[in-house]
Amino acid sequence: MTSIPDFYGRFPDLYDRIATMPGIGRWRRTAARRVASPGATVVEMGCGTGANLPYLRDVVGPDGLVVGVDITAPLLERARTRVAAYDNVDVVLADATALPIREADAVLATFVCGLLPDPASVVDRWCDLLRADGRIGLLDATASTHHLGRPLNPAFRIFVAAGSPNAGVTETLSAPFGNTDEVLTHRVAASRTALARRAVDREYETFGLGFVGLLTGTVESTD
């Protein structure tokens, strides 16, 4: 079984090209604006090559702090280069499910929850990390229910299989006719349910013909 760091660490160039494809920046910018605020401390879980980090830094400004967390060293090297000009953006080699960070004002996770075996419990831990009235956002992709997106679901399943650490050529070629995205769909749904259980002022919006969804909310103080 191939681990996530081993799989994604093999293709940092390809991963970065996908993460920065035309149009995706708008989704990332929107996510940053929904969770971050001027002067805030924001942690991005699974930051990859750091595609979100400049957008988050733009929102928090010079008085805020942005920390990107990822378990894949080659991707983090790209992220470190991307934010080298900022003195208030840092990246940390760490597991987003076992954080070395004690608290933050906001948390963002982009295309991460579908990789987690138990996303609901991880989202709960991310919520516990937040200070009073902290913001959390989950940006994830699933099959589309949009009338223009549904015909493209077979291609989406190929994309999911090709991006899976343990899917081979046979699984990828047969993906349009199967349910290769079933686990992904279940995990994303579980993460969104966990966020909905913990957060108020929730907002949900979709992008890319319904393939990408952004759920954000505020975790109220329990004091």
- The one-letter amino acid at 48: G
Q: What is the pLDDT of residue 215?
A: 98
Say if residue 68's pLDDT is above 80. Answer: yes
Do residues 53 and 80 make contact, with C-beta atoms less than 8 angstroms apart? no
The Cα 61–Cα 132 span in angstroms is 21
* pLDDT confidence bin for 127, thresholds 50/70/90: very high
Q: Give the structural domain span for 24.
A: 4-218
Residue 167 lies in a domain: yes
* Residue 157 lies inside a defined structural domain of this protein: yes
> Considering the domain boundaries, does residue 71 fall inside one?
yes
pLDDT tens digits for range 157-215: 988 888 777 666 666 756 677 788 899 999 999 999 999 999 999 999 999 999 999 99
Q: pLDDT grade, residue 134 (50/70/90)? A: very high
Which pLDDT does position 27 carry in this prediction? 97
pLDDT at position 220, please? 85
16 residue type, one letter: D
- Please report the pLDDT score of residue 170 as a whole number: 65
pLDDT score of 100 = 76
Q: How many domains does the chain have?
A: 1
For residue 144, the one-letter residue type is S
Share of the chain above pLDDT 90, in %: 78
Q: What confidence tens digit (pLDDT) does each residue in 4-43 have?
A: 888 888 889 998 999 999 999 999 999 999 999 999 999 9
Q: Is residue 117 part of a domain?
A: yes
CATH number, domain of 118, equals: 3.40.50.150
Residue 57 covered by a domain: yes
pLDDT at 167: 62
Give the pLDDT confidence score for residue 164 in this predicted structure: 77
Q: Summarize pLDDT for 100-125 with one digit per residue, the tens.
A: 788 999 999 999 999 999 999 999 99
> To the nearest whole percent, how much of the chain has pLDDT over 70?
94
Q: Are strands 89-93 and 212-219 parallel, antiparallel or unpaired?
A: unpaired
Residue 131 domain-assigned (yes or no): yes
Judge whether residue 221 has pLDDT over 90.
no
* Per-residue pLDDT at 159: 87
Beta bridge partners of 212: 141, 207
Q: What is the pLDDT of residue 23?
A: 93
Residue 62 lies in a domain: yes
The answer to the question of residue 223 being in a domain is no
Instruction: Specify the 3-state DSSP secondary structure of 195.
Output: helix
